[in-house]
Amino acid sequence: MVSKVCIVGAPLDLGAGRRGVDMGPSAVRVANLNARLATLGFDVEDLGNVPVAQPESHPEGPTTARYLPQIVETCSRLAAIVEGVLERGAFPLVLGGDHSVAAGVFAGAANHFHKRDEQLGLIWIDAHADMNTPESSPSGNVHGMPLACCIGMGPTELTHMFGWHPKTDPRNVALVGLRSVDEVERLHVQKSGVRAFTMRDIDEQGLRTVLHDAVAIACAGTSGFHLSLDMDAIDPQEAPGVGTPVRGGLTYREAHLAMEIVADSGKMRSLEVVEVNPVIDESNRTANLAVELVMSAMGKGIL
């Protein structure tokens, strides 16, 4: 694990149907993320927020991919920042915003390794598959498309950032916590080569087995992995303030165990935490949990 962590806020809510996740980065910072990371011995630098467009100032555009040009602009900025952080030998920690930011975050991280003829794996912890395309999406919300973009499916503006695609081999992608999938999207998951672990898999096999498998998948022939944590993977009883809550998610302890296993692997190269929505939260509970989980992922243990 590197000694320097660079925090980047991505207060984007153009990709979601419900407003409020643009305040997620502020909520997580209010939960004392920076100071708590410093207690683990990291040199913490907060790079502030990437500029984002406001929906009131722009037309929605095509109903199949709402606000796509504005999302591409933000993702391109994020990609450049994340790549720059890695080139400095630091660890990028991105705070969303809706999950569409992941297309930019992962592109930047993957490009850093691509230039060294290496590949980056991906662990995607989420209640949703995020593998829609403009042709399949029932809503046109781009936050339902970023994982598809990472493996080369979806809008060219997002799949081909830096001039190459896919950003990772689908066989090096593990999707964990799945429990809400659109009908056509289900076929995308099944045919993609991505390894999906549903909540049934977690119930039957246990979180420990699933996460160890996920780490092995993401690390097979790669230089490590990016972790994309959507807070809606956790049950709404523990994380009520999320963009798209779905009952039946990870428990408090399962979520921490997942992060602890990630930390134990020593293979996480970048991290994003998305979809914290303070508008529907309870006394910043979800943002506080997000900080706790980041701490576990970055190496904080019980003893």
Positions marked catalytic: 99, 126, 128, 130, 143, 230, 232, 275
Contacts of 264 (CB under 8 A, 6+ apart): none
Per-residue CA distances from 132 to 36, 140, 183, 198 (Å): 36, 9, 10, 17
Question: How does DSSP classify residue 19?
Answer: S
CB-CB neighbours of 220 under 10 Å: 12
Q: Are 260 and 227 in contact (CB under 8 A)?
A: no
257 exposure class (CB count in 10 Å sphere: 0-12, 13-18, 19+): middle
Q: What is the DSSP string of 156-212?
A: HHHHTGGG---SS-GGGEEEEEE-B--HHHHHHHHHH--EEEEHHHHHHH-HHHHHH
Closest C-alpha to 10, from 21, 284, 143, 156: 21
Burial class of residue 167 (count of CB atoms within 10 Å of its CB; 0-12, 13-18, 19+): buried
Euclidean distance between CA atoms 187 and 170, whole angstroms = 14
| The pair of three-digit structure tokens given for residue 182, joined into one six-digit string | 């659109």
How big is the chain, counted in residues? 303
Distance CA 293, CA 291 (A): 5
Q: Which residues contact 80 (CB under 8 A, 6 or more apart)?
A: 108
